[in-house]
Structure 1
């Protein structure tokens, strides 16, 4: 099983999307249905086309429930970031993405919902640019309508691809389960639920419950369920319901933990490294969100990005754990990584500065190459914020190349090129009359974070850009056989009568509808003068030879007679010649051929 959390602004369709994917109502409370607003965490699951089971933790989007959102996001290894096409990026989207970035989540999808209410392209482009500057940079984006079902199959395919990229969970060794719900079932007793991130829980296990006061009490696993099915054992990563013996439901709260007995030392002090770099200032107290829990911690800056946190009660944390630090006053969210869960006391002058250096060494701050490889791509500004030296025209690191204001890893470049070629092949098979993609469609298909990268990517992939569209070399000349045959018949007719533009019914008789004519124009086989007039591309030059033989200046009627045509054709043809600078209009009724000087 895989577990994925949702994130995004209130009323952007997170719960509706989960319901459409799973057929399960994630909102559990009557108040949520009455208000049409997710307040608490919701849960649902489905089986993907590959057969992989995936569970969703649906989080509230309203700013008043940010704590509940962080409790749902904290234990999840991947995320669906939801943006509504008709509203676009909103303040809570920014806050939720900051939380995703703070947790260092690199696996996820951007889902633009309500595509039936507005063109999703602007929201897709904007979201890609914003997400590209976060830990989710380079993730795939999909547009859907939960109401009509458009895009849901593509989303399911994207979810299948996403779950294959998730790292293998640690199922052996000690267990740690952050509790997000506790309730009583008649005849069974106390049941707690949560996302099991590491380890395995089996029926009959003797565990300990670590509560918010720091107290630990022994409990026994009486029974297990996952996805509403009884289990003898459940391994990470999974949504699990644990029936406990030895404790009442009212004694268990969100943020408590189920732990392997005697396997998790607890701590009240942590030395952490801020993931976002060195802040201008830090308040004396911050809310620390970890797993499903939240506690207020005392803050002591050590120097640089190193900070010591003092917790009100001990927690079972270890080096490598990711935390979210939130300032309720400013609503600022920062990420932090636990470097030392058992730090030495700071008793001597200068000890904090020395400790900051130790934390920096132990943290193993990633190199620019490692960070770009992790994200796929990042802006030069983001690299500079990490302290990297990025020089114009120089390769910043091995396996990383600079493209304008972006740094891109070689692996991301290869991935994007493959996606772009695949998208073009799919488009050509589905629509041979227009086997090309617009720039935005190409960017979205390749999941490139910014359109400015497309020129280099197109060249790298062996493709070409023409008239604002991307296609394979020579795609303009290649037309389906039936269109080519019809065009040959029309070309023969226009060669004999070059100034007799066919009417729509004649084009239809040749087997050339609007899409076939448009393809022929793009291929350079026909010249479109206006919506109703198409001629051969050589016709303007042939017209000039006739018009140059007339007494100058000449009238429209004289041109019509000389060309043996109609006003329907002659007027747009003369305007075309004016536009090319071959003829010049003198007044309302006279023109002259412009002689070369």
Structure 2
């Protein structure tokens, strides 16, 4: 299926044509029939000679209903642009053309209606002149009469050709369905309708309703008034939802694939067809939503738009900016960055590389070089670091990251130049830390993350991979030895010489007398000069072997008390010493808390 917006003439020239073309009435309200003009969106469809189905969204043309019109044309890829032969180009035709041009719609058919009332040549020439220089300049023109049926076959043929030209949307794309209508059906509950531009919706799917951020379930699905199990874009769909009331789903709400979209309240754009100076307070139209926004110009044709509520936008989305007081479209816009950095002067305390603010002038220069097409290398160059999932959520496909040389732990990607610089900085930091603090076990990963302003410890570990040693959450140079500083080695040698037995742990006073504090002891333990049994309890390196030799000679199994007496030591030493031997499998603790030395104990 393809979906086409029917825009242009204000009165029932459109409606009459659609009734003749489809056999269905696009005007749903009695008021529309009474007044002879379209007020709200109407939906009809037909099957063409090729077997293709085409659905039409009939949009109002009167200036008072432009918001309704924009809600209808926003999600569709093509237009049936209607101009009446007897009245020619009208003011509302210009506004519709401006909207379509701003949205980048370039496919369609020009229908010159009411050819039974006037020669279509003049209206066709006037329309061609107006369309010149816009994306719709090459539309095929078809004179037609909805009253007599003249030209209907030619129009159907032109629509068939149009459908063949339209790009085929990706059925596996992430779902983003802008809701243009919601209501309640007795016995079914909440029903919403919209134009599905891409992706697939199935009965039973779980979707996320935004901006409410509410999970909903698709109970039922209709496409062109027929129940279906699944529908792929482009398609007009009606979804029966579980988990929400119709009153909570206004026009402009949106259904999303969960976890696949980023919603934000700021977006950087490139302006097109804009008035200068551009007003700061405008209305933004995208999909079926209309919101009051604030606009801040950054460059000659770029701006930041601040939204009152979060929207799910992606790079390349097309927006319309409209001045509500004067009812005119003042600019089109294409999304350059739906997740822009904050504006402001970078501060020393800014938490991470990812969140680094930009000066407005620097950001303007960045935007000037950007396009509205996804660019992985460019995004990484500007952002420095980004998650693959976050890039996909703003329209940079995940598959473009496959095989990227800077694919890192935790799903992060980095700009190669930044990654090399961070790696060099980390190596320098670790070397400086080892030089300045020789007693340290190494630079903590957490400290390195803070210094480099990285958002995740996994990135520090990825930077260290192959360049540094990581032990116990600390980083050391790859060639760092385990030797303790000279003064520590001398103090430990004195300590060992004073020990009457290898397991005769010195007291705190004895350690203090040799200037062996906690950091010096830790350095000695790392160097293998001492064995730490517990905090502040250290013994000679051969203490485990010597203790096992004594314990093996005891009647097996033996108690803690027997071991303590045989070793001639206190519980302060005996308990952690036996626990160490348990861990080494050189003693085995029994259920009754006694121990035995295995006959085939492992050698140490």
TM-score, scaled to structure 2:
0.59
Deviations 1:432-456 (A, max 9, x none): xxxxxxxxxxxxxxxxxxxxxxxxx
Alignment of 1:362-401 (within 5 A): 362-363=370-371
Equivalences, count: 362
Give the equivalent residue in structure 2 for 1:291: 287
Q: Structure 1 segments of 4 or more deviating over 4 A?
A: none
Cα contact 2:273–2:330 (8 A) shared by 1: no
Deviations 1:365-406 (A, max 9, x none): 9xxxxxxxxxxxxxxxxxxxxxxxxxxxxxxxxxxxxxxxxx
Give the equivalent residue in structure 2 for 1:231: 228
Cα contact 1:318–1:338 (8 A) shared by 2: yes
Partner SS, residue 32 of structure 1: helix
Matched, 1:148 2:110: no
Partner SS, residue 239 of structure 2: strand
Give the equivalent residue in structure 2 for 1:165: 165
CA distance in 2, matches of 1:108, 1:95: 17
Partner SS, residue 172 of structure 1: coil
CA distance in 2, matches of 1:224, 1:51: 22
- 1:12: how far off? 5.6
Cα contact 1:98–1:333 (8 A) shared by 2: no
Give the equivalent residue in structure 1 for 2:297: 301
CA distance in 2, matches of 1:125, 1:336: 29
CA distance in 1, matches of 2:185, 2:266: 38
1:12/1:191 CA distance change after superposition, 3 Å? closer
1:359 maps to which of 336, 352, 367:
367
Give the equivalent residue in structure 2 for 1:55: 55
Cα contact 1:273–1:306 (8 A) shared by 2: yes
Question: Cα RMSD (Å) of the superposition?
Answer: 1.6
CA distance in 2, matches of 1:156, 1:86: 22
Cα contact 2:315–2:338 (8 A) shared by 1: yes
1:263 maps to which of 248, 260, 263:
260
CA distance in 1, matches of 2:241, 2:271: 37
Mark the runs of 5 or more structure 1 residues left unpaired by the alignment: 366-597
Deviations 1:102-156 (A, max 9, x none): 0010101111100010110000011011112211111111110110111111000
Alignment of 1:108-507 (within 5 A): 108-210=108-210, 214-276=211-273, 279-330=275-326, 331-348=328-345, 351-363=359-371
Deviations 1:208-227 (A, max 9, x none): 111xxx32111110010101
Mark the runs of 5 or more structure 2 residues left unpaired by the alignment: 347-357, 374-604
- 1:348: how far off? 3.1
Give the equivalent residue in structure 2 for 1:82: 82
Deviations 1:346-379 (A, max 9, x none): 11399223222211211269xxxxxxxxxxxxxx
Partner SS, residue 81 of structure 2: strand
TM-score, scaled to structure 1:
0.59
Partner SS, residue 270 of structure 1: strand
- 1:333: how far off? 3.6
Give the equivalent residue in structure 1 for 2:3: 3
Q: Which structure carries more relative contact order (alpha carbon 8 Å, separation 6+)?
A: 1
Partner SS, residue 169 of structure 2: coil
CA distance in 2, matches of 1:107, 1:327: 27
